[in-house]
């Protein structure tokens, strides 16, 4: 798999750098916004839907993106869900997500020699706690109704390409969506990283949160549900925080 940012030899020879640049913009838009329909991409990039389809065909052939059925949270509307395009693992790698075996090897050593899964979970909590200082500052300086958005902006500054939006039933809460995960490859093997992250979100926002989907689990976006009510502050469930609910 060649890097998304590098034109092929054929493109160099035929002068079609513009096509490659546009494909890179299409792939980058999927990275930043999560699984997207042709119409979504055309609107965001100012392209025709025919042009988007042409670039997507190439990206699918190169194993950068893959078509999926759109996941619907909440009540389904009539009609068949639109097809969306999501980055593949190879596509994420192309955006410099080179999570070598070093991190997995280190966590495996901790698991085998320093206390098993409990030690891995302790490491994951310590790691996210050290990382969370700017998240805490951002959330605490925002009014309650803007805290999810403030957390999303702080996460984006760390490379998570995060957004906050109303849940399918807005009166129930919001969804925090992370369209990129710098540790997705490691979290595939060690979901304790996702679980610790969900727990810190719960503490920062002062409410129980529920992880609906994770990139490490194979979803296109890490999605965390944040209820409107903040009257209670239970910690996130360790059994489901890093995995999709059954």
Residue labelled with tokens 């969306």: 84
How confident is the model over 19-49, as pLDDT tens digits? 778 898 999 888 888 889 999 999 999 999 9
Question: How far, in Å, CA of 137 to CA of 152, rounded?
Answer: 13
Task: Quote the pLDDT of residue 9.
Answer: 47
Domains parsed from the chain with CATH numbers:
16-72+80-87 (1.10.10.10), 95-227 (3.90.1520.10)
In the Cβ-directed half-sphere of 229, how many Cα atoms lie within 13 Å? Answer: 6
- Tell how strand 65-69 and strand 222-227 pair up: unpaired
The confidence band for 202, taking pLDDT boundaries of 50, 70 and 90, is very high
If you average pLDDT over residues 94-100, what whole number do you get? 56
The stretch 51-65 carries a mean pLDDT of: 93
Is 127 within 8 Å of 103 (Cβ atoms)?
Answer: no
Structure tokens at 202: 């719960």
What's the whole-number average pLDDT of the chain?
81
* Three-state DSSP class for residue 18: helix
pLDDT at 218 over 90: no
DSSP state of 36: B
At 151, give phi and psi (nearest 5°): -65, -40
């Amino acid at each position: 798999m060649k890097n998304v940012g590098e034109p092929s030899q054929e493109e160099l020879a035929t002068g079609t750098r513009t096509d490659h640049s546009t494909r890179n913009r299409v792939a980058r838009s999927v990275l930043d916004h999560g699984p997207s329909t042709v119409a979504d991409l055309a609107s965001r990039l100012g392209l025709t839907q025919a042009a988007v389809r042409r670039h997507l065909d190439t990206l699918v052939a190169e194993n950068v993106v893959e078509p999926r059925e759109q996941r619907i949270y909440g009540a389904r509307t009539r009609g068949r869900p639109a097809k969306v395009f999501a980055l593949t693992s190879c596509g994420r790698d192309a955006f410099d997500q080179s999570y070598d075996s070093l991190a997995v090897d280190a966590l495996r050593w901790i698991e085998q020699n320093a206390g098993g899964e409990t030690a891995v979970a302790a490491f994951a909590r310590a790691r996210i706690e050290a990382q969370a200082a700017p998240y805490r500052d951002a959330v605490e300086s925002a009014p309650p109704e803007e805290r999810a958005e403030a957390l999303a902006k702080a996460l984006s500054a760390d490379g998570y390409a995060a957004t906050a939006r109303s849940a399918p039933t807005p009166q129930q809460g919001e969804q925090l969506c992370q369209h990129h995960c710098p540790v997705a490859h490691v979290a595939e093997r060690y979901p304790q990283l996702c679980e610790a992250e969900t727990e810190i979100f719960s503490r920062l926002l002062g409410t129980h949160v529920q992880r609906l989907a994770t990139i490490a689990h194979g979803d296109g976006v890490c999605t965390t549900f944040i209820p409107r009510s903040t009257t209670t502050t239970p910690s996130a469930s360790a059994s489901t925080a890093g995995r999709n609910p059954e």
